[in-house]
Each structure stands twice: as C-alpha cells, then as structure tokens.
Chains A and B, each alone.
Chain A
Amino acid sequence: MRVLVVEDEADLADAVARGLRREGYAVDVAYDGDEALDKAAVNTYDLVCLDLNLPGIDGIEVVRRIRADGERQPPRVLMLTARDRTVDRVVGLDEGADDYLVKPFDFDELKARVRALLRRDAGRSGALLEVGDIELDTARHEARRGGRPLALTPKEFSLLQYFMSRAGQVLSQEDLLEHVWDENADPFTNTVRVTVMTLRRKLAEAGEGQPVETVVGRGYRLREGP
C-alpha cells in the first residue's frame, strides 16, 4: 500500500513517514501543496495523509484537486489538522477527506486509522483479511496459512496484503511497484520479481499448493478459492 505524507513541518512529516514505513507501507513525503500535487499526478497512492494548513496551495485545495482527477480511483485522504474547531473538520470532510486526526495525535491511532481507511478499499470491515486458507491480521502484523504462522519481511507482508485486498485480479509488476514500493525503488531492478518469489516460497512451505499464480505476460494473481 502506497502512502503520501503531506506536511510542512519537516520534523513531523519525516517521523510519520518513518513510522509508517516500519509498518510496511511504501511512503513518499511532500513538504508543501505543490509538491503533493506533483507527486499525486505522477504516482498512484492508496492513501494521502494531509496537513490542512500548508504554505502555498492549502490542504483543502489539495484534497479538491486530488478528488477531481477522474481517471484514476482517488486515494483515501486522512486529514491532519492543528485546528480543533468543528467548522475546519466539516470543510475538510465535505471536500472529500475520508477521516481526520487532530494534532497532536497518538501514532498508534494514526496507524489504526490508516489501516481502517485502506480496508475500506478491500471491501472488508475487520482488521483480519482472509483469502482461501491464508489469514492476514493487519493490526498485529501477523500472517498465517492454514493456521501456521508465516515469517514475512515487512515488504513481503505488504505485498501479500495487496494481493489479498485484490484477490482474483491480475496484478502487473508495474501495479505492484506502484502500490507496494515507494518512489525510491528503482523500476529497472527485479526487486518485485524477487520479493514475489520469496513470498511464494514461504507460502508454499506453509501449506498445500501455490496460491499466487503467474499469469504469463501479464503478472500475478492470488487465487480466491482453495
């Protein structure tokens, strides 16, 4: 899952990015509204953490423009705001933000809200994802196949989560690079292929059969049934 953090306080933006990266998200950072719109135009984000009070183009305007991009599915927007007046939150929510947090916030709460927003896209309500005999607990960061725990790296975990949230769909290497890796990933390396390979190996070791299929010439697919 790919996240854009937009915040003009560099010390805050960097800390949020560091914390979210450790959760396995691919995180990019923008320090003002223009940079945020540039990055949102080039990359496809699943979620944007957005400070409302930005120099230059302000947060509300950023939400509006991100929402107005009709070609792609717009990302979920989590507002961060230092203003605790209801009217500020109402404006943000009306303009298309999905949720908000008032500064200063608890980082665990930020993580929980990010998870909750990303689950909405997966069409599931719990923190538990289940496809076939694979279970994924996004809150505890645990994955199991047939009840046996899987020892996954954060990247492998994110990759599996992305597969599970789009079970049955064919996902190209570009899709995966776009949503699971951040902008620092080099698109010319075979990092996607290598990570998919190790994930498949770990899945195969834990149970019967290989749930992640290769669709020749198009990409990969997580089988929905057993």
Chain B
Amino acid sequence: MNPPERLLDRLPEWTRSIRFRYTLLYSAVLFGLAAVVLAAIYLVLLMSLRATPVSAARGTYCPRFGDCITVITFREAERLINAQILNKLRFYSLGALGVLFVSSLGVGWVIAGRVLAPIGRITSVAREIQATDLSRRIELPGPEDELKQLADTFDAMLARLDAAFAAQRQFVADASHELRNPLAIIRTNVDVALADPDASPDDLRQAIAVVKRAGDRMTLLVDDLLALARRQQPTPEHEPVDLGAAVAEASEDFVVPAEARGIVLDRAIAEGVVVSGDREALKRVVANLLHNAVRLAPPGSRIRLATGSERDRAWIAVADEGPGISPEDQAHVFDRFWRADKARSRADGGTGLGLAIVRQIVESHGGEVRLHSKVGVGSSFVVWLPVARAAAEPAKR
C-alpha cells in the first residue's frame, strides 16, 4: 500500500465526505479569486501612484528668523500620502482575506450540505429497503433537477423490482397450492387405507390407483414448472431450426390420440421456413397447443395444423372446432394456472401451465402468440416468429 492512502485512512470519517471536499474546494476557489483580485488592485495602484516613504522625501528649510523646519513639496506630500494609503490597503486586504477564508469555509459547508441533502435521503431509503420489502419509495420533492431525476430513476427501478418479486411470490404460492392438492389426495388415501385393518385387496388396489393418478398429475406439474423456470433464465443458445420439420415431428405424437378420440388432424406444413431458436422449445409450443386441442375438441371434429411464412415472419397455426373461449376468458388463457373449468380440466390431466409455457417460449424467441376464438365455433392459436434471415442481420429489437 502506498503512503498517501494510509494517510487518508487515518483521517476522521467526515473528512472523506463529498461535503468536506466540496467545502474545501469552494473555500479555496473563493479565497484564491479574492486574493488575485485584491493583489491586482494593489499592484495597479502601486504602479500608477508614485509613492515614497516619508524618510526619502524630506528636505530642510531654514528661514531668516527662527529654527529650521522640515519641508516637503506638494508632490512629495502626495507621494507620502499615497504610500500610507497603499500601506493601509495592504493591511485591510490581508485582514479581509483572513475573514473571507474563515467565512467561506462556513458558507461552503452549509451550501454543500444543502445541495447534497437529497443524496442523503436517497441513501437512507436505499438502506431501509430489504430485498423482501420493496414497497418503499424515495419520492424526492423539489424541482425537476438532476438529483430528482436520479431519485425518480431509483423509484422506477424499485417499482419494477417490486413487481418482479411480487410475480415470483405469486408463482411460488400458486405452485405450492397446485402441488398441495395431489399431495393431500395421496396422503389421505394412504392414511385411510392404512388405518383400516380389514381392507380388502380391492380396496387397497383402488387406493393405489388413486395415488398413482395423483402422482402422475404431480409429475406433469413438476415438468411444466421446471419448463417455465428454465425459460425464465437467460435464453439458451439459438440455432437455425427447420420449422416445418420440427412442427411435423411434434405433431406425430398426436396422430394416434386424435384418432382415438375420432378427431381428424389435418396438417399443412410449409417447407423451407427456417427460424432461429431452440428446437425442443418450439416443439413444445406445438405439442402444448395440440394437447389442448385434442383434449377439448369434440369427437368427429377437425383440427388443422399449418405453418408458413409471410415476409420476414414465420407462423404456426392450430385451429380446432372445440367449445371456444369467451371474450372475458381470452384475456386469461395465457395466465399460469388459469383453467376454463377447474374441476374438469384438473381431472383430465391439464396442469394449467400449457399456454403460459407457450407464451413464454414464443416471447423469448422474439415472437408473439395470438388467439382468435368464438364460443361454439372453435379456437385458433397463431404463433408468429421472426425468420432466421433476421438473425444474420445485426440484432434489432
């Protein structure tokens, strides 16, 4: 460590403050300017006035009668007075500089304190804020100046953090709520089966079947929760993906289930559309949309899956002839854990996360997903994605 740093460390705390440095600077500048002005005035006077000390100007006049007296000429007298004035000027100037030095320190301290007060307020609020309580705001009063802008920027950042934390808390609360129900089913069924000493094998088999159902539901839920959590991390590496091939591959898994329910799955997949993205995630988008369609569409209806591109955007569309979604529900379908019909969807294996995952994946690819639906007619989901050409160009948002 070098000596100046150690010296700084030894100084009392308040000497390291901006307020102290600001006061010293202010005082030094004021003092310097005053000294320069006074010195200049003094020098100018010194040069322009001819000043002679008294001793140098003396002459003697001896009249005929009486003693000799000391005489000086008018010019000499003037010079003499000038010398005295300069003397006084020097004396008072130095005195004034001394007073100015002391008072500038005091005034500088006060002004620096006033200017820096908002920063103190910002600091104290920032200190009070814990990671878990982000409800405090600085709310700096006063004019729209730099410090107010700084405080407002802080407030805006706090508001964003607060919202993010609230969303996270809500997510955890929702997730634990969704996991508690199957857990309660498992626990209660096991408790009741174990407590019965005369339970028949059939009773036990039934209890085990219930436990298995609840376990399956939890597995799906945990998978979906993990998928969501993973997508919340910084976007994984994007690579060129042949959209048609990925969509065709994802839809393969639904041909048999659709047939089993008497539903026709029409596929119109365009070739040669390449997007930049995460292939597995994009397959999941298609799978989630088809899963809902196959689950909800009535037997004998038709599901259409199509892809294509339009200018620099690629699209995937899934249209069903299912029950449709009412306009007031359309705003909620992409929310986590939202279900059109709680009781029914839970029973047939929906986690309430499918569409939330779809939206998250699509948005992380810089795309968007739109829903067009009419009750009694059907629903169609359209996913728009930027095509890969855009990835080669400089990134733009």
Residues of A within 8 A of B (CB): 8-12, 15-16, 18-19, 22, 31-32, 53, 55, 80, 82-85, 102-108, 110
Contacts and interface: CB of A to CB of B under 8 A. Distances in A.
A104 B181 CA distance: 7
Interface in B152-201: 173, 176-178, 180-181, 183-189, 191-192, 195-196
B341 interface: yes
A15 B343 contact: no
Contact of A12 (B173, B178, B184, B196): B184
Contacts of A108: 191, 195
A120 B327 CA distance: 49
Contacts of A19: 188, 191-192, 195
21 contacts: A8-B343, A9-B184, A9-B346, A12-B184, A15-B207, A15-B210, A16-B188, A19-B191, A19-B195, A55-B342, A82-B177, A82-B178, A82-B180, A85-B173, A103-B180, A103-B181, A103-B183, A104-B180, A104-B184, A105-B188, A107-B191
B275 interface: no
A83 B187 contact: no
Given A12-B185, A16-B188, A53-B177, 19 more contacts: A9-B185, A11-B210, A11-B214, A15-B189, A15-B210, A19-B188, A19-B191, A19-B195, A55-B341, A55-B342, A80-B184, A82-B176, A82-B181, A83-B177, A103-B181, A104-B184, A105-B184, A107-B191, A110-B188
Contacts of A12: 181, 184-185, 188-189
Contacts of A16: 188, 192
A41 B188 CA distance: 28
Interface in B200-258: 207, 210, 213-214
A182 B270 CA distance: 62
Nearest to B341: A55
Chain B: interface secondary structure? helix
A31 B173 CA distance: 24
A21 B261 CA distance: 39
A69 B186 CA distance: 35
B341 A15 contact: no
Count chain A CB atoms within 10 A of each CB in B178, B187, B341 and give the residue with the most.
B187
Contacts of A105: 184, 187-188
A103 B189 CA distance: 13
Contacts of B180: 82, 84, 102-104
Contacts of B176: 82, 84
Contact of A15 (B173, B183, B192, B347): B192
Contacts of B347: 10
Nearest to A109: B191
Contacts of A15: 185, 188-189, 192, 207, 210
B173 A104 contact: no
A215 to B, nearest CB: 38
Contacts of A55: 341-343
A18 B180 CA distance: 20
A83 B180 CA distance: 8
A106 B183 CA distance: 11
A70 B300 CA distance: 52
Smallest CB-CB A-B distances: 9 pairs: A107-B191, A103-B184, A104-B184, A19-B192, A82-B180, A104-B183, A104-B187, A55-B342, A15-B188
Contacts of B173: 83, 85
Contacts of B207: 15
A104 B343 contact: no
Nearest to A107: B191
Count chain B CB atoms within 10 A of each CB in A15, A80, A84, A107 and give the residue with the most.
A15
B180 to A, nearest CB: 4
Count chain A CB atoms within 10 A of each CB in B176, B183, B343 and give the residue with the most.
B343
A102 B181 CA distance: 10
